[in-house]
Structure 1
Amino acid sequence: MTFLRLFAFIFFLVSANVALGDCAPDRVDLRGDWGQASYVVEVVDTPESRGRGLMFRESLPRRAGMLFVYERSQSVSFWMRNTLIPLDMIFVDAQGVVQHVHQNAIPLDETPIPGGDGILAVLEINGGQSQRIGIAPGTELRHPAFGAQARWACAVN
């Protein structure tokens, strides 16, 4: 199954669960004054997988992304080495609240992109989507990685 087909299939399954309000490890939900959105995500939570990120990929489905999760909140900085597609980088604290958005990171650019201090996760999506949707500091994310302390925590079953 191709990468795009896999994401389309996962997106279909995830969409069916969004109405139920369930969290899923392969989905991030976002909400703000602008409304709500969901992305099918690939979670990278090891030093090796975070180091590779979206390098060498030629495309990313429209409602797909990559969620970088760290063991603890920290200062993080990204770059676009070997990354072929423009990306928006959404830097999120331990409560699941967006602290900073870097829009349209330039493919292959090795200039550091600082996300700030106290960052637990970074969501990468296609460049320009955060502006089109309205994702900005203060937007809340829901994902199991943020745990019970999240401002928009996953429902406990």
Structure 2
Amino acid sequence: MRIAGHRVAVLLAACLSPLAALAECTPDTAELRGSWGQAQFRIELADTPEERARGLMFRETLPRSAGMLFVYEEPGRASFWMKNTLIPLDMLFIDTTGIVTHVHARAIPGDLTPIDGGDGVRLVLEINGGLAEAMGIGPGSELRHPAIGPNAAWPCTE
């Protein structure tokens, strides 16, 4: 029962209000949906090589409904590590249409082991470690964000 209660609290913390579904996409917001429901995260964009290299390093905290969205110009193989990262993270690897293809849960702070997201990755959303599992976010979930463009499985204009 504690897990179910925790899941509800997490969903309430990260989800949009009923009117949010009517809102347009914004660069500082990433929305996710799936059979588990829908959630919104306030995000920082990492869309330059310098921003992607720094990521969430040296951060001591990350608000529960926040994250960082890494955006690549072209899809490819994505690999991350946790050097100088102080908080555990979930990494959601996302293809060109906004579909989550892989989730790496609870990456260990400071660990230098490469975390391979696979081929065809165009975006990576980092959120607090354990949150994806608590909410039910997994492969097949859909991300909505302006960076995805016209081929989005869940377009901004919906």
1:147 equivalent to 2:154? Answer no
Q: Which runs of 5+ in 1 are unaligned?
A: 1-10
The offset of 1:18, in angstroms, is: 1.8
Decide which of 117, 120, 145 is 1:118's aligned counterpart.
120
1:100 equivalent to 2:78? Answer no
Decide which of 59, 65, 68 is 2:67's aligned counterpart.
65
State the match for 1:38 in structure 2.
Answer: 40
3-state secondary structure, aligned to 2:26:
coil
Query: TM-score if structure 2 supplies the norm length?
Result: 0.87
1:23 equivalent to 2:25? Answer yes
Amino acid at match of 1:36: Q
Q: Which runs of 5+ in 2 are unaligned?
A: 1-12
Amino acid at match of 2:44: E
Separation (CA, whole Å) in 2 of partners of 1:65 and 1:50: 13
Separation (CA, whole Å) in 2 of partners of 1:83 and 1:35: 29
Moved over 6 A (4+): none
Separation (CA, whole Å) in 1 of partners of 2:132 and 2:27: 21
Amino acid at match of 2:55: G
The offset of 1:17, in angstroms, is: 6.6
Amino acid at match of 1:110: L
Deviations 1:69-90 (A, max 9, x none): 0001000100000000000000
1:130 equivalent to 2:132? Answer yes
Query: TM-score if structure 1 supplies the norm length?
Result: 0.88
Does the Cα contact within 8 Å between 1:39 and 1:64 map onto a contact in 2?
Answer: yes
3-state secondary structure, aligned to 2:22:
coil
* Identity across the alignment (%): 61
3-state secondary structure, aligned to 1:25:
coil
The offset of 1:143, in angstroms, is: 0.2
Query: Cα gap change, 1:45/1:17 in structure 2, threshold over 3 Å: closer, same or farther?
Result: farther
3-state secondary structure, aligned to 2:134:
helix
The offset of 1:22, in angstroms, is: 1.1
